[in-house]
Amino acid sequence: MPRAPAMLRVPAVAAAALLALAALAVPAAAHARLLSSDPAGGATLDQPPERVTLTFSEQIEADFAQLQVTGPGDQRLDAGAPEVDGDVVRGDLEPFTQTGTYTVAFRVISADGHPVESTFDFDVSDVPAAAADPSPTLTQPDEPTATPSAEPEPTATAPTAPPTPTASPTSGEVDAAPAASPSPSEVDAAPATASGEGEGGSGLAGLLLAVAGVGAVIAAVFLAVRRGSRGQPDAQAGD
């Protein structure tokens, strides 16, 4: 059997090799790959970024994009879910409070459904002083405003004992009660009697003197009468 010339076999082998390479390259080109990032991997920044931006080789499924940024001490800096715009993924960051190395981890789904995930680092050499060590600011205290005081809560009080029943007065006692009370005239006369006792002190002394005088007069008259009666028998005896 005649052989093909060597010059014809070489182009055929080369064509087969090119076709094999092309077949392998087509599936690889269908997957999304990261083209660039901001900040770039390995970069050192003199001020912290406000967001991370990732640009891919093809569009990304918006519902499955994940972006996470961690710093020293596993501090999370990513603020919420990332935003997807075609082949660009953006994620806002929280304020940085310290310098050091920060890691960006992402996972996205390309248009053909193939997941792509990877990580890269960047360094921050300086952060604003206010963010690194916020100093407390002195604020003037507000003047106290009058607030209505709370109403006092009712306190439980012990129930009072019922009054002890007293014996009701009999009908005779009820009738005798008005008689025992002083009459209006007696009430009116009571002050006069009390005042009369004060005035009667001097009157009593005068009365005693008058009685003594009358007694003296009576005694004198009695003695005179007695002497007169004795003189009459003597005169009769002389006659």
29-129: CATH topology:
Immunoglobulin-like (2.60.40)
E strand map for 40-165: 44-45, 51-56, 66-70, 83-85, 88-92, 100-109, 115-124
Scanning the chain, the segments in alpha helix (DSSP H) are 6-29, 129-132, 171-180, 184-238
Nearest alpha carbon to residue 87 among 69, 61, 117: 61
Q: In which band, very low, low, confident or very high, does the pLDDT at 224 lie, cut at 50, 70 and 90?
A: confident
- Higher-confidence residue: 105 or 237? 105
Highest mean pLDDT pick, 97-101, 165-169, 172-176, 209-213: 97-101
Order of all β-strands in the sheet with 100-109: 44-45, 115-124, 100-109, 66-70
87-134 pLDDT per residue, tens: 999 999 999 999 999 999 999 999 888 999 999 999 999 998 866 555
- Neighbouring C-beta atoms of residue 83, cutoff 10 Å: 15
DSSP for residue 47: S
Residue spans per domain, the chain: 29-129, 200-233
Q: Is the pLDDT of residue 200 over 60?
A: no
